[in-house]
């Protein structure tokens, strides 16, 4: 196989098992789709609602009569948090101002951190899935595949990726100390958090069997992902590619519009991209443009491919003429969230609908099954030579 560019930038988020709780920021929203409904209106309950009146009466009594000091803002935040916890929906959450800003920044493409993405491996350990170039972690010598055992003197034993992320995020002095295990040896790295740009799209051209295969990895569905993807696709097409591999491994989602925009580039007009089932009805999202392709488009997925990634993968699998999914069963996130900013700077992220594939199937808790199943090699270290999933995709698509 001849690699046109010797330094591909696809550190496969894959070792991810949720696979990669995207960046120290993206873990906040494990597998998510944010749906922007411009017509959403605030629902005002009537003042004479018995339940609301009871809540307000309790609030007033606590504020006015409780003998100790009461922080009214924190009291309200606790009440909202209690309501979201009562729903027992892991995707419906109350985000404090810091969490809200992290979500906003991640979807815009920036965040404050050390430049790593983490996941949980099969042994329940916190694994570094990706290290961004020119980041504090990269400069310190941290590598993809390292297992983090301690952050700022706090043991990660028994903790999940989001808890590891919270420890780094809470470092107000911006100093972060990682203790990692690499090949059985313990190593300590010290670094300082900084504002980083999250790469969103990586594009390369591979050559195999006298064919040119375009490759685009989508790291997350940000506000401008459709434009970025189209720009790189046009560049690859100007290089006379014969086919395209879209890499969605470790991509946990983002804006639903991004998946719709990219699917519309490939599917014929009026093709079904997905259906949305809400409390009131079920509607279909169809392609409105007449811009489509006719070459092979294969999609790489893994256990970290969730929500918007699954929507795009399913749209191509069921509505495109020549698509195969390669890799591992995807995450299985079939619910859609909306966000509602609050006056305090906090945010409510809540589930409003379920999305269905063009065939009407739900992936919630099940995921998408690849046409060609390929588990990531244990030798994978973030480099192309150890990326057996991508190599298999190139071999299959160039037959």
Q: State the catalytic residues.
A: 307, 333, 337
> Can you give the length of the chain in residues?
399
**Structure tokens given for 297:** 């488009």
> What is the Cα–Cα distance from 212 to 259, expressed in whole angstroms?
25
Q: Give the integer Cα–Cα distance in Å for 123 and 37.
A: 40
Q: Which residues pair with 338 in a beta bridge?
A: 350
Distance CA 49, CA 292 (A): 52
CA atoms within a 13 Å half-sphere pointing along the CA-CB vector of 201? 24
> Which residues are CB-contacts of 330 (< 8 A; sequence separation ≥ 6)?
301, 302, 303, 305, 306, 309, 310, 313, 363, 367, 368
First-last CA distance in the chain: 13
**Could you give the CA distance from residue 169 to residue 151 in angstroms, rounded to a whole number?**
11
Count the neighbouring beta carbons within 10 Å of the beta carbon of residue 303.
23
Query: Whole-angstrom Cα distance, residue 111 to residue 118?
Result: 15
Give me 392's structure tokens.
Answer: 């298999």
Give the ranges where 131-282 is alpha helix by DSSP (H). 136-140, 161-169, 225-238, 256-266
Q: How many CB atoms neighbour CB 247 within 10 A?
A: 31
């Amino acid at each position: 196989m001849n690699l046109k560019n010797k330094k591909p930038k696809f550190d496969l988020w894959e070792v991810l098992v949720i696979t990669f709780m995207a960046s120290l920021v993206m873990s906040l929203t494990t597998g998510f789709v944010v749906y922007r409904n411009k017509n959403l209106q605030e629902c005002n309950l009537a003042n004479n609602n018995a339940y609301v009146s009871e809540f307000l009466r309790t609030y007033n009594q606590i504020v006015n009569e409780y003998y100790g000091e009461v922080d009214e803002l924190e009291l309200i935040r606790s009440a909202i948090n209690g309501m979201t916890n009562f729903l027992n929906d892991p995707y419906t959450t109350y985000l404090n101002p810091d969490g809200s800003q992290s979500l906003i920044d991640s979807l815009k493409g920036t965040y404050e951190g050390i430049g790593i993405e983490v996941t949980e491996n099969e042994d329940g350990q916190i694994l570094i899935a990706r290290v961004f170039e020119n980041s504090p972690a990269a400069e310190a010598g941290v590598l993809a595949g390292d297992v983090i055992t301690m952050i700022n003197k706090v043991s990660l034993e028994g903790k999940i990726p989001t808890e590891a992320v919270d420890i780094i995020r809470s470092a107000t002095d911006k100093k972060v100390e990682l203790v990692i295990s690499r090949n059985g040896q313990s190593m300590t790295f010290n670094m300082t958090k900084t504002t980083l740009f999250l790469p969103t799209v990586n594009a390369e051209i591979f050559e195999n069997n006298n064919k040119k295969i375009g490759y685009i990895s989508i790291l997350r569905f940000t506000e401008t992902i459709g434009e970025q993807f189209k720009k790189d696709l046009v560049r690859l097409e100007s290089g006379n590619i014969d086919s395209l591999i879209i890499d969605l491994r470790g991509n946990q989602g983002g804006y639903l519009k991004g998946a719709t925009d990219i699917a519309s580039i490939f599917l014929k007009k009026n093709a079904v991209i997905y259906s949305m089932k809400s409390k009131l009805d079920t509607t279909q999202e169809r392609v409105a443009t007449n811009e489509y392709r006719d070459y092979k488009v294969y999609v790489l997925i893994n256990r970290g491919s969730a929500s918007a990634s699954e929507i795009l993968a399913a749209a191509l699998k069921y509505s495109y003429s020549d698509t195969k999914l390669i890799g591992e069963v995807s995450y299985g996130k079939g619910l859609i969230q909306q966000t509602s900013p609050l006056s305090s700077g906090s945010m409510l992220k809540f589930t409003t609908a379920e999305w269905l594939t063009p065939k009407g199937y739900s992936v919630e808790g099940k995921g998408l099954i690849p046409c060609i199943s390929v588990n990531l090699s244990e030798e994978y270290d973030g480099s192309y030579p150890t990326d057996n999933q991508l190599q298999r995709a190139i071999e299959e698509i160039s037959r």
